[in-house]
């Protein structure tokens, strides 16, 4: 898989976690990869025959940021997570003052390790829908770091899709143009991932993209009524292989969609580093 290149490097993110939290962290890994970040996760990044302790140390030291997933299962007992935290903190101490390098993400009720207690942390909920919000918050921190290192510009960040919470009664378009990560669940419970781009042409929505290797194309009408004409955001219905109804959520510019008999989907604004094209992992 190709990644955006800044000079001779890509933006690298190390994901530290305990084995009990691997399912949630794996989803974050997939979303980061789709979003143009070179994320490192042991079960996905190591190959047979490698010295895993050496490779983990090398990956931490070469990363531009480290996301630390802290949960009771990880901090309340001995394990390699503590060594990864120690490695990451040692590298963080070599960063300029105020640099975003360590990003603690708290899973459940647990004590934050002492060496991380000075950092503001994110809270990740294990609710499947809330994971999109967790990713959006992590993305915000990573993009701040990427901006400081020159990977992205102010203008590129401003070009990302965002919520349109504004003046009451404003006539506007509830689904914003731009590139999105797609995270969904089929009615049978299986997950899928992809990327999509939303455009507006002749007062209609057009969505094109790739979901798990399948090219998609959806179209729909722009709702003709004020965004704030009721207490609820205006839903947008797009039609293609299925009919999908999207509603903006009050955080992060994320859209929650429903389709078929029990299918759900989230559109998460993609970072400027998302590679061109629409191939999904």
- Does 165 score more than 50 pLDDT? no
Q: pLDDT tens digit string along 193-222?
A: 999 999 999 889 999 999 989 999 999 998
Architecture of the 178-269 domain: Beta Barrel (2.40)
* Overall residue count recorded for the chain in this entry: 281
What local confidence, expressed as pLDDT, does residue 52 receive?
59
Cβ neighbours of residue 240 under 8 Å, at least 6 residues apart?
Answer: 207, 216, 217, 218, 219
- Does 26 score more than 50 pLDDT? yes
Question: pTM for the complete prediction?
Answer: 0.83
Q: What stretches of 187-241 adopt beta strand conformation (E)?
A: 191-201, 204-211, 214-221, 236-239
DSSP state string for 145-190: HHHHTTSS-HHHHHTS------STT----SS--EEEEEEEE-TTS-
CATH superfamily of 12-152: Toll/interleukin-1 receptor homology (TIR) domain (3.40.50.10140)
Name the strands in the sheet holding 38-40, side by side, starting at the edge strand that comes first in the sequence. Answer: 38-40, 12-16, 65-70, 102-107, 122-124
The domain limits of the chain are 12-152, 178-269
- Using CA atoms, how far apart are residues 201 and 204, in angstroms rounded to an integer? 5
| Beta-carbon-side half-sphere exposure of residue 3 (alpha carbons within 13 Å) | 18
Confidence of residue 183 (pLDDT cuts 50, 70, 90): very high
- Does 122 score more than 90 pLDDT? no
What local confidence, expressed as pLDDT, does residue 190 receive?
93
Contact call for residues 205 and 222 (beta carbons, < 8 A): yes
Q: pLDDT tens digit string along 215-230?
A: 999 999 988 765 445 5
| Beta-carbon-side half-sphere exposure of residue 103 (alpha carbons within 13 Å) | 24
Q: pLDDT tens digit string along 82-106?
A: 677 777 777 887 787 778 888 988 8
Domains 12-152 and 178-269 share a fold: no
- Does 167 score more than 70 pLDDT? no
What local confidence, expressed as pLDDT, does residue 267 receive?
95
- Using CA atoms, how far apart are residues 89 and 160, in angstroms rounded to an integer? 31
- Does 145 score more than 60 pLDDT? yes
What local confidence, expressed as pLDDT, does residue 168 receive?
45
């Amino acid at each position: 898989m190709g990644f955006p290149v800044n000079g001779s490097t890509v933006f690298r993110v190390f994901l530290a976690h305990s084995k009990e939290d691997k399912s949630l962290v794996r989803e974050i890994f997939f979303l980061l990869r789709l979003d143009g970040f070179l994320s490192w996760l042991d079960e996905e990044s190591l190959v047979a025959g490698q010295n895993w302790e050496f490779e983990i140390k090398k990956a931490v030291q070469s990363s531009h940021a480290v996301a630390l997933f802290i949960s009771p299962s990880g901090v309340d007992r001995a394990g390699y997570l503590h060594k990864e935290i120690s490695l990451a903190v040692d590298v963080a101490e070599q960063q300029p003052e105020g640099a975003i390098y360590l990003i603690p993400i708290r899973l459940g009720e647990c004590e934050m390790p002492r060496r991380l207690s000075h950092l503001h942390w994110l809270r990740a909920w294990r609710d499947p829908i809330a994971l999109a919000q967790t990713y959006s918050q992590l993305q915000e921190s990573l993009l701040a770091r990427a901006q400081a290192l020159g990977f992205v510009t102010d203008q590129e960040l401003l070009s990302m899709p965002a919520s349109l919470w504004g003046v009451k009664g404003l006539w506007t378009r509830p689904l914003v143009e731009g590139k999105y990560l797609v995270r969904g669940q089929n009615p049978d419970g299986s997950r899928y991932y992809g990327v999509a781009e939303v455009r507006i042409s002749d007062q209609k929505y057009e969505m094109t993209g790739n979901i798990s290797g399948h090219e998609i194309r959806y179209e729909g009408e722009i709702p003709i009524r004020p965004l704030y004409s009721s207490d609820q955001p205006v839903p947008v219905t797009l039609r293609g292989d299925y009919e999908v109804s999207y509603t903006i959520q009050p955080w992060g510019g994320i859209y929650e969609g429903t389709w078929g008999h029990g299918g759900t989907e989230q559109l998460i604004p993609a970072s400027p580093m998302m590679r061109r094209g629409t191939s999904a992992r």
